[in-house]
Structure 1
Amino acid sequence: MTKRVKKIYNITQKLLFSSKKKDAESILDLYNFYTCFPLKEDNQGDISLKNGIAISKKNAADCIHDYKRTASFLRGVYNAIIECKKKFPNEELNILYAGCGPYAPLLLPLLSLFEPDNINITLLDINQASIDSIKQIVIELGYETYISNCIVADATQYQYRKNESLHMIITETMFHALTKEPQVAITQNLAPQLIEGGILIPEEISITLGYSFFSKEPFLNQYNNTYHVANLINQNAKRKFVETLFSLTKSKNKGVVDSYYFESKWYPIPENYEETPDICIYTYIKVFDVFQLQYEDSLITNPYCLTSLYNLQNKSKFKIKYSIENIPNWEITVS
């Protein structure tokens, strides 16, 4: 084991098996480890796709700082690999990491904990600079025996090798309330390609409608390359949850009308909304098994405000629509 592999092994061991109170420290150690590898120059920036925006190499790298997200996904992926090994004991595990960015941070740190004999990984990103960077890191860590392919491709269109079973997919290409980035389109394309019993990470993304006083909501924000919960004093801000609109899983998109959009039923305008005057979307993520991200745990589960109910005065009802065409977004219709 080289010095660099030993270092990432120790960081990952601490993250997986120490107190969660040390997560922020461990993730900072992980980020500092990656900064030892110079990133390839990126002339692309954000890339517009048919169903969302693929963020730039730098922004993808900076996502590591969102420490609860990174920690929860690493724990979930680690346990998912163990579960996959139990489900498919006599097979080489084929794992696809779609939207891996320049660091593949939700999988690469775990490799030092597994033998390479029965793991076959494909890393995929649409950004050439990201793939160039991760290729170099793989070589410098000596991980070529784990990584079979590093591919530049659009994950919303990519087709896995037809003559091989796909046992596990990892994709985290999200912004809050499933806006902007192509998580839904990628899931719709890749999840059906899984072998029966295969595992999708995250296992489930649930979108819930509710009312709140949005300016009092706790939410995650960035300060000096670290993430902290803002509005801590209001962590008990009052919320009124209406219902779960839909959930995104490997088997189906519960409640999604078709491949491109979801449209809710009509909701009556509440009679009294002084304490909760804003229509909000809340995101819950089940990464794998018990590993999850609750509301405001992460940038990707921050609450999202659709509009104020004060803007709907003299109206009797509203419904909302979520579309993944062009840039994923929410719209509201009133009557």
Structure 2
Amino acid sequence: MASNSSVVQSLMGGAGELSSIDPSLAKLLNQSLRDKLNRQLKGDAFASSELLINHCCKLVECLLANTQTHEQLVDYFADFSQSLIELYQSLELTEQETTHSYVNATGLVMAVKDAVSTVNDIYRVKAFIRALKNTLDDAESQSSQPLHLVYPACGPFAPLVLPLLCYVKKHNTYQRPLKVTLIDIQPGAQKVLNRVVGSLGLEHSVEVLCMDVMDYQPSQPIDILVIEAMQHGLSKEGHLSFMRHLAQFLAKDAYLLPKEIVIEAILAVPQREFVEQWHEQARSHSSFINAKIKAERINLGPIFTLNLDTLKQMAIMPLGNGYDLIEAGQVSIPHNVDDMSKRILLLSANLHVDEQEQVAQYDSGITHPLADMSVCIDFKPKASEPDDLLVKGGDKLKFYYKLCGMPGFLPTIA
């Protein structure tokens, strides 16, 4: 699909890239490198465990507060992130350990150097930390038996869990024993995780495993599953494959974070949606969505809902050669839309982490709408691609989810 792709690609790559990460946090790495150079020249060691714990607890206090400004969050994230980056750099991992990325049977395995930036995704971390605190509060009142928390594909910093565990340990918040299993397939991530866990004083309750999530078989049921292994539009990474594998090990009353993921299909004009809507914003966030531009969208409706109930009901359609499909929803393309040929199909994820906390559209990189450039509605592209799907008003789009090394949604004409 040639006519609209240049607009999307020009925004999604290069100097104009739209990001939910605050620009001041994105610049931390350069400053951290300068600080590391200065310390080496002076013969100083990297920041102490006490400083890391202090930054971690202050961050969690801010995240759990009933009110906090974005500027306050940026300040606390900056301190915590810089401490973690300094720790990461002090390990002096090999180039293979930091830069190696690849695709396996379930999806993309990110390079460690790319995964370190997830700690700066403020509103993703905030929603999960607050939801996990709510979960631990609820679990504390239910029983006194030990809890098993599993966080697969957690990356080098496990940012959705470790900050709260540090805070809980310092304040001796809960009586119910908690065992935590962190899993990542990257050896470099395991090395960093072990150092972070030790620096936070959590080594007695946290186990770090370096393995493929699909090979994990716990010795005790999983009471809390914290999982976020996806990119926008529930694409690229193995989130759904991991959930299907781990579901068999969940305790009867297990907690799942996020509790539910909803994928919606939208038709929008890319120039309006991705360019004009953000040209005066330094970052993206749901609170910055332009009401007029939002009203111009054509909302086709939800195509996929992922929670514990739907997970149990999924029917797999094996296609062979490592490709399986899961049937998703169907939507109708409206008739007689004047600018339909200018619109593209977007798939947008909303994460309901628990009943109170969510990661809404544009709050995080994982909730930016994903453009499917293969769907051509009411026009035929001048430069066609092998996977172009020619659609016209009145057609019905049927979606399937691909379980393979390139996971994501496959639209078809019903």
Common fold: TM-score over 0.5: yes
What's the CA shift string for 1:220-259, capped at 9, x where partnerless? xxxxxx95459x5745422222222221112333874427
- Provide closer, same or farther for how the CA distance between residues 330 and 102 of structure 1 changes in structure 2, counting only shifts above 3 A: same
Partner of 2:39: none
**1:285 lines up with 2:364 in the alignment:** no
C-alpha distance in structure 2 between counterparts of 1:175 and 1:155, whole Å: 17
Q: Structure 2-normalised TM-score?
A: 0.71
Tell me if structure 2 keeps the 8 A contact 1:255–1:262. Answer: no
Tell me if structure 2 keeps the 8 A contact 1:192–1:251. Answer: no
How far did 1:78 drift? 1.9
C-alpha distance in structure 2 between counterparts of 1:4 and 1:267, whole Å: 49
Amino acid at match of 1:62: S
Partner of 1:302: 368
Partner of 1:223: none
1:37 to 54, 62, 87: 87
Larger Rg: 2
- Provide closer, same or farther for how the CA distance between residues 210 and 257 of structure 1 changes in structure 2, counting only shifts above 3 A: farther
2:108 to 18, 36, 53: 53
Partner of 1:320: 399
Within 5 Å, give how 1:229-240 maps onto structure 2: 229=285, 234=290, 236-237=292-293, 238-240=296-298
Amino acid at match of 1:94: H
C-alpha distance in structure 2 between counterparts of 1:83 and 1:309, whole Å: 48
1:204 to 257, 260, 270: 260
How far did 1:190 drift? 1.1
Q: Quick check: which one's helix share is greater? A: 2
**Cα root mean square deviation, aligned:** 2.8
What's the CA shift string for 1:270-325, capped at 9, x where partnerless? 21233562222121101122100111221111112223423436675243332122
**1:129 lines up with 2:183 in the alignment:** no
Within 5 Å, give how 1:85-104 maps onto structure 2: 85-87=140-142, 89-104=143-158
How far did 1:211 drift? 2.0
Q: Quick check: which one's strand share is greater? A: 1
Partner of 2:230: 174
Q: Structure 1-normalised TM-score?
A: 0.86
C-alpha distance in structure 2 between counterparts of 1:125 and 1:191, whole Å: 18
Partner of 2:213: 155
C-alpha distance in structure 2 between counterparts of 1:108 and 1:76, whole Å: 14
Name the stretch that deviates more: 300-309 or 272-281: 272-281
Partner of 1:273: 337
Unpaired stretches in structure 1, ≥5 consecutive residues: 220-225
State the secondary structure of the residue aligned to 1:178.
coil
Partner of 1:64: 119
State the secondary structure of the residue aligned to 1:253.
helix
How far did 1:33 drift? 2.4
What's the CA shift string for 1:180-225, capped at 9, x where partnerless? 0111111111133111111111111111122222332259xxxxxx
How far did 1:133 drift? 0.7
- Provide closer, same or farther for how the CA distance between residues 125 and 314 of structure 1 changes in structure 2, counting only shifts above 3 A: closer
**1:76 lines up with 2:111 in the alignment:** no
Tell me if structure 2 keeps the 8 A contact 1:191–1:251. Answer: no
**1:112 lines up with 2:166 in the alignment:** yes
Tell me if structure 1 keeps the 8 A contact 2:264–2:303. Answer: yes
State the secondary structure of the residue aligned to 2:78.
helix
- Provide closer, same or farther for how the CA distance between residues 63 and 285 of structure 1 changes in structure 2, counting only shifts above 3 A: same
State the secondary structure of the residue aligned to 1:217.
helix
Name the stretch that deviates more: 5-14 or 108-117: 108-117
Tell me if structure 2 keeps the 8 A contact 1:27–1:70. Answer: no
C-alpha distance in structure 2 between counterparts of 1:331 and 1:152, whole Å: 32
How far did 1:3 drift? 4.1
How far did 1:57 drift? 1.0
How far did 1:109 drift? 0.8
Amino acid at match of 2:150: L
C-alpha distance in structure 2 between counterparts of 1:313 and 1:293, whole Å: 31
- Provide closer, same or farther for how the CA distance between residues 74 and 218 of structure 1 changes in structure 2, counting only shifts above 3 A: farther
Overall identity of the aligned pairs, in %: 22
C-alpha distance in structure 2 between counterparts of 1:189 and 1:241, whole Å: 33
Unpaired stretches in structure 2, ≥5 consecutive residues: 1-48, 276-281, 318-323, 380-389
How far did 1:58 drift? 1.5
- How many residues matched? 326
C-alpha distance in structure 2 between counterparts of 1:104 and 1:264, whole Å: 31
Amino acid at match of 2:402: S
Partner of 1:25: 75
Tell me if structure 2 keeps the 8 A contact 1:174–1:181. Answer: yes
Amino acid at match of 1:125: D
Name the stretch that deviates more: 312-321 or 281-290: 312-321
